[in-house]
Structure 1
Amino acid sequence: MSDVAMSSSARATIALSIHGPAGVLDLVVPSAATAVDVAREYARQADVPGIPLLQTALGERLNAAVPLGEAGIQPGDVLVATTGVHRPRRVTLLQAAKNAPESPALAAMIAWVAALVAALAAWYAGRAGDDVVRTVAVGVLLACAIAGVLPIGRHARQRAAAAPAFAAAAAFAALHEPGVHLLPAVLGAAGIAAAVVAGIGRALSVDDDEVSTVWIVSGLTVFACCAIPAMLGWDGRVAWTLLIFLSMMAARFAPSLAVDVPDEALLDLDRLAVTAWSARDSQRQGRRGRIVVAGDAMERLVHRASRIVTGAAAAIMVTMLVASPLLLHTASIDLDRIGARCLVFFAGCSLLLAARSYRHAAARILLRLAGLGALVALAVHLVAGPGASHVDVFLYVTVGLGVIALAAAVAAGRGWRSVWWSRRAEVAESLCGSFAFASAVVAAGVFRRLWEMTS
C-alpha cells in the first residue's frame, strides 16, 4: 500500500486497484488527484518506464486534467494502466436498455403520448367504414391494455397508468356508430371499460396505485353520467352538463380527499412524555397539544397525495376538453344554448381560479389547461357557431383581448400573490360556481321543460 503525496486540501481519499504490465498495485489517493498523478505514482512504484495511460475497466480513457472524484471514480474501482488506448467493448441496444437507469418522468411522458395515440387510433377506427380495420384496431388496443396492467418489467407503474386509456379506446372503437344520439352510451361504455382495466391493474399491483383509483372513480362517474340519461331516454345535453359540473366540483374536493392522515400515524407528545419530572411539573405551557407525524409517513403521504391530485387534474382536463364542445354542439334551442354557453364560461373561469390554490405544479398546469380549453371551445362556438354575426364576433374579440390584457397586467405586477387578489379571487370562484350551478339547470333543458309544462 502506498499514498500519493499531493498538495491538495481534499480530505477524502479513494482506494484503487491498478492493473498494469508490472502487476497489480493498490493505491490510496486523494479524490482531487488527477489521472496523470496516479499514473506517475504507479510508474514510480512499479518501476515502469514512462507514464502509462489510465483507463476504466470498460476501456474508457480517463481525462488527464479531471480529478478522479469528478470523473466518477469510486472507492474500490479497478483501473487499467496501459501504453495504448483500448476501445470500449461494444454494447448492444438491448443491453444498453437493460443497463440504463430508470427514468419515471420520461416513462410518464411516453405513457401520455401513448394514451393520446390510442385515442386517435380509436377515433380513426370508429369512423372507418372497413370492419377489418376496426377489428384489428380493437384487438391491438385490447392487447396493449392487458399487457400494460401486468406487473412485469420496468416502469410498471407508468404502464399501468396508461393501460385504462387503451381499454377505453378499444371500447370506443368497437361501439362507435355515426350519430350524436349514441355518443353518450359509447362514452359510458368506454368509461366502464377503463374502470375495469384499472381495477385489474390495482389488484395485480404490489404497491398501492393511486392513479388506478382515480381511473376507477373517473370511469364509474363517466359511466353513471352517460349511461343513466341514455337509459332514461334523456337528451345528451344532460350527460355533458353533468360531466362539466362534476369536473368543476372535483377541482375543489380532490385535494381534501387526497390529503388524509390516519389517526394511528399521529403521535401525541404530551401523552407520551409521562416521566417523573413531567409528573411533578404542574405548569402547562399551553392548551394546544403537540402532535407530530413521523418523517417517513409524511413523505409517503405527500407522494400519495401528489399522485392523486395529478391524476384527478388530468381527468378533469380530459373531461372538460371532451364535454365542453359536445354540450355547445348539442344545444340547438336558443334557451338551452344560452345556458350551455354560460355553463362552459363559468366552469372554465372556476377552474382557472381554483388552479391558483394548488401548490403542485403539474396539477395547477392541468387545471389551467382545462379552464382554457373550455374557454377556447366557447370562443370557437361564439365565432363560428350558429347565429354568429360580424358585430358579435367583433364584440367577443374586443372583450377577450381586454381580459387578456388585464390578466397580463396583473401577472406582470405580481398581483396574483397579493392578499387583496386572493380574497377577490376566492369570492369570484364562489360566484362562478354558483352561476355554473344555475346555468346547468338551463343547459340540461330542465328550465325549458318546466316552462313548457306551465305555459
Structure 2
Amino acid sequence: MSDVVSEVTPSSGSAATIAISVHGPVGVMDLVVPIGATPVDVGRAYADQAGMSGIPLLQTPLGEHLRADRALAEMGVESGTVLIAATGVRRARASDDDTHATQAVPETPEVAAVVTVLAAGAAALSAWYAARAGNDVLRTVTVGVLMASALAAALPWGRHARQRTSAAPAFAAAAAFAAFFEPGDHLMAAVVAVGALAAALTAAITRAMAPGRDQVLTVWIVVGSVVFGVCAMSPLMEWNARVSWAVLMVLAMLGARFAPSLAVDVPDEALLDLDRLAVTAWSARDKSTGRRGRLVIPEPAMRRLVADATRTVTASCAAILLVTAVASPLLLSSATIDLDRIGARCLTFFAGAAILLAARQYRHVAARRLLRAAGLSCWLWLIAFEVGDLSTTWLTWALVVLTLLGLISLAAAVATGRGWRSVWWSRRAEVAEGLTGALAFASTVVASGLFRALWEMTS
C-alpha cells in the first residue's frame, strides 16, 4: 500500500484547497484538491496515478455515494476527509431512492391554496343544502363528514400543511351552521355566532399544535371572535338581527382601511440603532462597514417580518371579503320596512365604495384583488335585490341603464387607472374615501333601525 501526494486540476477554478485521502484498489492516495473539484476530477486523478483504465466512483466510509455534478465542498467534504474509490456497479439503497423521489416532487403552494379554497366553498354549500333540506339523516351525515374533515385538516403535518390548516376553521364553521340552523330570520344571528365561535376555536387549537407561527390562523381567531361578539349581541339584547349585520359591514369597511397598519407593527427598539440612532427600517442593515457600533436587527429578521406581514394582510383581506359577502345579503333581506330598507341599501352601497377606494392603497396584488372583490360583492348583492323588486318593464330599463353605466365606468377606470399614483388623483380619492365612509356611518343609524325607533318614540 503506497501513499502518493498529488494535486488535482480543478474543473472550476478556485484558490482554496483541501487535503483528502482516497482508499482504493491499489492503496491509499493523499490528494490536495481545490474546493471546486468534483468527484469526477478526484476519481480521474486517482485512476491516472494508479494506472486504472476506468474512473472509480467516490463514496464516504459509510457507503454514501458522492454526486458527480457537485463540488466536494458543497457536499461537506473538508480537509482530512477519507473517501473510498469503488469500482463496479453500485446499486442505490432503498432509502436513497425514497429520498430522491421525495425531493423530486415539486412544491405547489399556489395549487394547494386554490384546492383548499374550493374545498372550503364546497363545505359551505354542503352545509347550506343539508341545513335547508329538512332531512335529519342527511344533516347528521353532513355534520359528521364536515367535522371529520375539520379534524383531518387541523393536523399540522405533511406536505402543504400550512394551506390545509388554513381551511380547517371553514370546515368547523360549516359543520356548526349545518347542526344549529333553524328556518327563520330571528335565529340567523345566533347561528352565525355559533359558526364563528367554532371557527375561532378550531383555529386556536390548530395554532397551538402548529410548530411555528401562522398568521392566517391568527386572523381566523380574531375575526371569528369579533363576529361571534357582534352576532351574539343581538339575541342577548333582544335586538333585531339588522344591528349585527350593519355593524359587521362597518367593521369590514374599517378593516380595509386599518388592516395594513395593524399587520405591519414593528417595535421601535427593532428599528433603532442604539449607537447611530437610525430610526427607519430602510437604514437597518445586517452588517456595518465601519468600526463604530452595531445594528440591532439582522436582514433575515426583516425578511421574515415582511413575509409575516404579507400573509397577515392577505388573510385580513380574505376575511373582509367573507364578511361582506355574508353580511350584505343578510342586511338587505332583513330590512323589510321602507325606511330601514333605504338605510340598508345606502350602507351597502357606501361601504362597498369605501372598500373599493381603500383597495388602491395596497401594493400587494392578491390583497388588492380581494378587497376589490369585497366591494364589488356588496354592489352585486345590492343590484340583485334591486332587480328582484322591479317589474318586467322596469327590469328591462334597469338592465340597459346598468350596462351603459358599466361601460362608462370601465372606460373611466382604464383612463384613470394609472392616475391613482399621482398626487392630484390621490387627494381626490382620499376625499372620496372619507366621504363614503362618513355616509356609511350615517347610513348605519338608519339601517339598524335606531333612527326609526327614536322616531316612533318621539312621535
Pick the TM interval, shorter chain.
Answer: 0.7 to 0.9
Mapped to 1, the partners of 2:103 and 2:44 lie a distance apart of 37
Match for 2:434: what amino acid?
A: S
RMSD: 4.4
Mapped to 1, the partners of 2:295 and 2:74 lie a distance apart of 41
Question: Kindly tell me: are residues 215 and 447 of structure 1, through their superposed partners in 2, closer, same or farther at Cα, counting changes over 3 Å?
Answer: same
Match for 1:447: what amino acid?
A: F
- Hey, what does 1:258 align to over in structure 2? 263
Give secondary structure in 2 for the equivalent of 1:389. Answer: helix
Question: Kindly tell me: are residues 95 and 292 of structure 1, through their superposed partners in 2, closer, same or farther at Cα, counting changes over 3 Å?
Answer: closer
- Residue 398 of structure 1 and its aligned partner are, at CA, apart by 1.0
**Any idea what the Cα deviations from partners look like across 1:150-201, whole Å, max 9, x if unmatched?**
5556665544433222221110111123334432221111011112223333
Equivalent residues in 2 for 1:54-65, closer than 5 Å? none
In structure 2, which of residues 395, 402, 412 is the aligned counterpart of residue 396 of structure 1?
Answer: 402
- Hey, what does 2:447 align to over in structure 1? 443
Mapped to 1, the partners of 2:227 and 2:336 lie a distance apart of 23
Mapped to 2, the partners of 1:445 and 1:398 lie a distance apart of 34
Mapped to 2, the partners of 1:124 and 1:93 lie a distance apart of 44
Mapped to 1, the partners of 2:21 and 2:187 lie a distance apart of 73
In structure 1, which of residues 344, 354, 366 is the aligned counterpart of residue 370 of structure 2?
Answer: 366
Equivalent residues in 2 for 1:158-237, closer than 5 Å? 158-205=163-210, 207-237=212-242
* Maintained 8 Å contact 2:58/2:65: no
Question: Kindly tell me: are residues 15 and 118 of structure 1, through their superposed partners in 2, closer, same or farther at Cα, counting changes over 3 Å?
Answer: farther
Question: Kindly tell me: are residues 11 and 268 of structure 1, through their superposed partners in 2, closer, same or farther at Cα, counting changes over 3 Å?
Answer: closer
Pair 1:249-2:267 in alignment: no
Mapped to 2, the partners of 1:29 and 1:417 lie a distance apart of 57
Mapped to 2, the partners of 1:292 and 1:36 lie a distance apart of 45
**Any idea what the Cα deviations from partners look like across 1:118-177, whole Å, max 9, x if unmatched?**
323322332333323322222232233345445556665544433222221110111123
**Any idea what the Cα deviations from partners look like across 1:37-82, whole Å, max 9, x if unmatched?**
66654542342325679999888996xxxx646x996353989876
* Maintained 8 Å contact 1:58/1:89: no
Match for 2:250: what amino acid?
A: F
Mapped to 1, the partners of 2:315 and 2:323 lie a distance apart of 12
- Hey, what does 1:74 align to over in structure 2? 75
Mapped to 1, the partners of 2:38 and 2:99 lie a distance apart of 34
- Hey, what does 1:294 align to over in structure 2? 297
**Any idea what the Cα deviations from partners look like across 1:256-283, whole Å, max 9, x if unmatched?**
33333446546473699xxxxxxxxxxx
In structure 1, which of residues 287, 295, 305 is the aligned counterpart of residue 309 of structure 2?
Answer: 305
Q: Which runs of 5+ in 1 are unaligned?
A: 273-289
TM-score normalised per structure 2: 0.75
- Residue 24 of structure 1 and its aligned partner are, at CA, apart by 8.5
- Residue 317 of structure 1 and its aligned partner are, at CA, apart by 1.0
- Hey, what does 1:277 align to over in structure 2? none
Equivalent residues in 2 for 1:78-89, closer than 5 Å? none
**Any idea what the Cα deviations from partners look like across 1:351-396, whole Å, max 9, x if unmatched?**
1211222344433332222122223333334445545522222112
Equivalent residues in 2 for 1:96-175, closer than 5 Å? 96=101, 108-150=113-155, 157-175=162-180
Mapped to 2, the partners of 1:297 and 1:210 lie a distance apart of 16
Mapped to 1, the partners of 2:448 and 2:358 lie a distance apart of 24
Match for 2:320: what amino acid?
A: I
Mapped to 2, the partners of 1:403 and 1:23 lie a distance apart of 83
* Maintained 8 Å contact 2:274/2:296: no
Provide the identity percentage: 56
Pair 1:343-2:347 in alignment: yes
- Hey, what does 2:414 align to over in structure 1? 408
In structure 2, which of residues 328, 338, 359 is the aligned counterpart of residue 324 of structure 1?
Answer: 328
- Hey, what does 1:376 align to over in structure 2? 380
- Residue 397 of structure 1 and its aligned partner are, at CA, apart by 1.6
TM-score normalised per structure 1: 0.76
* Maintained 8 Å contact 1:111/1:159: yes
Q: Which runs of 5+ in 2 are unaligned?
A: 278-292
Mapped to 2, the partners of 1:167 and 1:46 lie a distance apart of 69
* Maintained 8 Å contact 2:19/2:30: yes
Give secondary structure in 2 for the equivalent of 1:269. Answer: coil
Match for 2:399: what amino acid?
A: V
